[in-house]
Structure 1
Amino acid sequence: MNTSKTIQQLQAQLITSENFRPYGQVISASVDGKNYDTEDAQLDLQNGIPRFYIMRLHHKGRKFHTITRHTQCTQCLGSLEGKDWLIAVAPPNNDTDEPALEDIAAFRIPGNCFIKLEIGTWHAGPYFEHEFVDFYNLELSDTNLVDHFTHNFLKSHQLEFEISS
């Protein structure tokens, strides 16, 4: 039985509202006093108590072999201090336990915006080359306990991904 792994390169593209639409939203600065509209984060946090916190992640590199989704809420992520970062995503697909390999895309996110992931969007990251990055994270208080579905590509396909930019 062959158990050697393959490393698949994912080319990160600079995130835009248009190219990220299948996975969620990109939220950028707006003028103070602007009325709420579709350019604001369209949140779904009705299934529990929202949790907004800052998580510090240390040098994460660019490789991954697991990907996760949350089916009970949207999730927002953004870096502090203007640091850029990377994420891999695949569109929501509630009829299967893993994303299609050809649907996985990678994005480079500048430190002047944040992302909102649609319910069920598969995601791996944040990844970065900095020593550490503080991220704000908005999800439900129990998301990581009861709404954390992960697929392991090493187990299913002997596959690891590496994001290049």
Structure 2
Amino acid sequence: MTSSSAILKSLKAESITAAAFAPFGQVIFPSEDGAPYGPDDAQLKLDEGIPRFYIMRLAGKGQQFHAITRHRRCTQCLGSLAGAEWLMAVAPPSDADEPNPETIQAFRIPGNCFVKLHVGTWHAGPLFNAPVVDFYNLELSDTNVVDHQTCNLRSRFHVEFEIV
């Protein structure tokens, strides 16, 4: 549902790969137990507070969004439980106070991996059509209180997005 003053733009979701997602973060796929720590492991920044690892239950909001958020103090890791596929839109981190809507990309994320967002990566999602999906989330204990900058794309740029 789009506001009468906003333009609804379609974003084609591409299947996530490490190379395509690199400007925004990392994709972490399973590795063998006992493998040494290396560059394919999540490169975390959680040193500005108490890490919080929890399971969040989200209700499905479909594939449209008009707001995008970032966290400037920490990385964030997200992954679905029970193998659920999901979608996320992202824009690269920058020093600007808002993302450039032209840089927003969408990814289809399978349930056999998780994503680690770089510090400052703008993101909308997880998005999905199921009634409810559980996600694990690793961030700081106060991320949603003191490190949650949101840009309303509808009011700022008169645009909304739908991931297709």
Normalising TM by the smaller chain, what interval? over 0.9
What do you get for the CA RMSD once the two structures are aligned?
0.7
- Partner Cα separation in structure 1 for residue 63 and residue 163 of structure 2: 5
Aligned length: 161
Partner of 2:82: 81
The answer on 1:105 being equivalent to 2:120 is: no
TM-score (ref. length: structure 1) = 0.96
- Partner Cα separation in structure 2 for residue 12 and residue 105 of structure 1: 7
Q: CA deviation at 1:76?
A: 0.0
- Partner Cα separation in structure 2 for residue 44 and residue 156 of structure 1: 30
What SS is found at the alignment partner of 2:120? coil
The answer on 1:30 being equivalent to 2:44 is: no
- Partner Cα separation in structure 2 for residue 4 and residue 149 of structure 1: 23
Moved over 6 A (4+): none
TM-score (ref. length: structure 2) = 0.97
Q: Indicate the percent of aligned positions where both proteins have the same amino acid.
A: 61
Partner of 1:54: 55
Partner of 1:69: 70
Residues 51-109 of structure 1: per-residue CA shift (max 9 Å, x gap): 00000001120010000000000000000000000000000002x11111211000000
What SS is found at the alignment partner of 1:88? strand
- Partner Cα separation in structure 2 for residue 57 and residue 101 of structure 1: 25
Q: CA deviation at 1:154?
A: 1.1
Residues 100-129 of structure 1: per-residue CA shift (max 9 Å, x gap): 121100000000000000000000000001
Unaligned residue ranges in structure 2 (runs of 5+): none
What SS is found at the alignment partner of 2:150? strand
The answer on 1:136 being equivalent to 2:136 is: yes
- Partner Cα separation in structure 1 for residue 80 and residue 69 of structure 2: 19
What SS is found at the alignment partner of 2:79? strand
Partner of 1:161: 161
Q: CA deviation at 1:5?
A: 1.4
- Partner Cα separation in structure 2 for residue 5 and residue 103 of structure 1: 18
Unaligned residue ranges in structure 1 (runs of 5+): none
Partner of 1:146: 146
